[in-house]
Amino acid sequence: MTKIPENIKIRAEKLKKEIERHAHLYHTLDTPEVSDEIFDSLVAELKELLYKYPELSEFGGILERVGGKPLKEFVKVKHQVRQWSFDDVFDFGSLKKWDEKLKNFVKKSGLSDEKIEYCCELKIDGLKIVLTYEKGKLILGATRGDGEVGEDVTNNVKTIRTIPLKLKKEESLVVTGEIWIGKKDLDRINKIRQKSGESLYANTRNLAAGSIRQLDPKVTSSRNLNSFIYDIDLSNGGIPQTQSDELELLEKLGFEINPNFAVFDTLAGVEKFYQSWVKKKPELDYGLDGIVIKINSRKVQETLGYTGKSPRWGVAYKFPAEQVTTIVEDIVLQIGRTGVLTPVAHLRPVNVAGSTVSRATLHNEDEIRRLDVRVGDTIILQKAGDVIPDIVSVVKELRTGKEKKYNFPSRVSQCGGDGRIERIPGQAAWRCVNKNSFEQQKRKFYHFVSKKALDITDMGPRVTNMLLENNLISEYADIFTLKKGDLLSLPRFAEKSADNLLNSIEKAKNTTLPKLIIGLSIPQVGEETAYDLAEHFQTIKNLREATFEKLEQLYGVGPVAAKSIVDFFKSKENKKILDNLLKQISISTPGVEKSESGKLAGRTFVLTGTLPNMSRDEAKTKIRALGGTLSESVSKETDYVVAGDNPGSKYKKAQDLGVRVLSEDELVELISKS
């Protein structure tokens, strides 16, 4: 027998306890503390440990359970048919393994001639419901509970308009489906609860579960619950021989079914269906966390049967998680273009939102203290679309006592010189004392050529490094004096790549004032401040000559940024760099597309989260064009916070301050009216 390392045994035990705790909160109390994705992540880690160390089977019992124990407030009812849950897969490789296992089982069962088809349905993020009808009349609505015993919620179910009280045929049957509530209703109900000082529902699933378990059916009725029915468990009229026919029969009987199902005879078709819904899910009003794949033939389903907790004939193919758990393996400092040191967590690689992530920023020293994140901690990592991965919190229940606190060092070799660092007075940030390290110069150039600044598309980090290392550039103006011969002397630079870069540089010679200000890397001046400065001063000459008093009075600037701007333009070195640059480029005037008399003039917007259809740049351009002002932080002066998916702390601050929160649809409506 393999000796199990003590740290592995401790980890497995802690994972088991944490999974049990969250399962109870989710299934029994309907008050989850974490998303389904985080729960799945913890389960996946425990499964992996059990696979590597079979001797740890004593910790695997929790993985065999379905649902949770019923609450005492409702009458308990025993299900006529046991309720199962599907196993999960998270990528196409795992789906293929499930399929191979399934086909081997079918072959051994003597059904090798049976055609295998896959019925794909959307996996609604709601609450499972079991409905019983006698002679066409609804007599019982029950929650799944622990799979064998649920709760009688019939009176509440009767308030749901899409659940028929009487079927179109007088049949006796048991069906299962999902109770759900729309995203718009979640927003509506949370606004009401916020005004009355009540806690807010975290998501649509949480709200649906809380609504169906109301002791007063009037409350349930006011919530506007909905349903999709997808299976017949029992029927005196017989059950169709395919899952797709079963769905069609349910619709004929009067049930609401989800119309977005399809049958495929290859996994390639299944994968195409899956990928299409990864993209389309933000368009739906209901929550969606994957697709469910069922073998279409009932005959094959019955042959395959069940494991201890799941059907062998079906699987849930989950969408890429936007929240996962992983482990902090190290914390290192990264030098930015202004010399500020950013702590970065090096993570055990993990797949989140469709990509493998191994690093996440910790922002500054105060953020490390706020999170109390340590090397060795298990953390919750969040990433939505193209948004930079963010550490949401630490799972302190999984600590062993061996985790190490992080303290800022006194010296960092990459800062150059003697490597000394200092904390910036009045801020949470640390910076290099030496302002001219090679690392810092690289970062400045990366920023200068980026899309938000001069937008030199063919000058990425690899090319920039090569130009710096070969002394072809040392300041921004040098970029615009590069010749083809300079580039062809560099390794791996051919005629085409040289021409592409020179064309990109030529285009960048005509820029706008906001882009130039962004590109200069003035400390404390972000994208929105750059636009405010460009709008107010109109020319780079006016900005260079601006006094501290004039700058401080500008909205969105403040004393810290004002001093930083004045100090930047006072510097002899910066003056020389800017003078040389201005000889090479031309700046369009005013460079800001903004209407002073626009219908949004005087209103301040903050954008947060991932918008379903518009990019942030598109939204910003439209707001500015109508006279609106954009800010990077939420305050009492903010008029609107435009929130997409995974909005984060800005959304919460808006709620705390009573700032109106807009969805993308509401923003589009506001713009249309304007």
* CB-side neighbour CA atoms (13 Å) of 285: 13
Number of helical (H) and strand (E) elements in the chain, helices listed first: 25, 24
CA distance 373 to 289: 29
β-partners of residue 449 are none
Q: C-alpha angle with apex 205: 202 to 210, nearest 5 degrees?
A: 80
Which residues does residue 662 pair with via DSSP β-bridges, in sequence order?
Answer: 642
SS3 per residue for 423-475? ECCCCCCEEECCCCCHHHHHHHHHHHCCCCCCCCCCCCHHHHHHHHHCCCCCC
Measured between alpha carbons, how far is residue 536 from residues 116, 262, 462, 631, 645 in Å? 67, 56, 36, 15, 33
Could you give the C-alpha distances from 430 to 282, 332, 407, 558, in angstroms and in order? 39, 13, 12, 21
Active-site residue (options: 47, 69, 107, 123)? 123
Distances (CA, A) of 398 to 25, 38, 59, 402: 17, 14, 15, 11
Our measurement of the distance from residue 562's CA atom to the centroid of its chain's CA atoms, rounded to an integer in Å, reads 35
The answer to whether 627 and 602 are in contact (CB under 8 A) is yes
What are the backbone dihedrals phi and psi of residue 59, each rounded to the nearest 5 degrees, phi first? -95, 0
CB 315 within 8 A of CB 293: yes
Strand 323-335 relative to strand 378-382, pairing: antiparallel
What's the Rg (C-alpha) of the chain?
30
CA 626 to chain centre: 30
Question: How far, in whole angstroms, is CA 301 from its chain's centroid?
Answer: 35
Residue 401 region by backbone torsions, left for phi larger than 0, else alpha for psi between -120 and 50, else beta: left
Catalytic status, residue 123: yes
Residues identified as active-site: 123
